[in-house]
Amino acid sequence: MTDEEAKAMSGEPKVVYVGRKPPMNYVLGIITSFAVPNVKEVALKARGQAIDTAIDAAEIARHRFMNKLNSSNITIGTEEMPPREGENKNRNISTIEIGLVRS
């Protein structure tokens, strides 16, 4: 049994981290994550400017490629990041986690 299969059987959702790439790259990640046997949930995680890309990827996957895909839960929050060079105080960055479940 591979590590991927062990995680899938443990009930932990697979995670796709969203960054600066186009949304279709993450749609492919969602689809390939569901291709692993026994995977029922995939979580998309993004922060800052990547939040809109995560939402786009989730909606494209739901409406164009996987009709039986639903949003299970959406969690939003804020992370405190260390200051950039030349800044004095910490920065707050918005975060989102979108759970996608195959029905």
Q: What global pTM score does this model have?
A: 0.83
CA atoms within 13 A on the CB side of 48: 11
Note the pLDDT tens digit of each residue in 30-70.
999 999 888 999 999 999 999 999 999 999 999 999 989 99
Domains of the chain: 3-102 (3.30.110.20)
User: What are the CA-CA distances from residue 88 to residues 1, 59, 77 (Å)?
Assistant: 49, 38, 23
Q: What order do you get walking across the sheet with 14-17 strand by strand? A: 14-17, 41-47, 91-102, 69-81
Mean per-residue pLDDT of the chain: 90
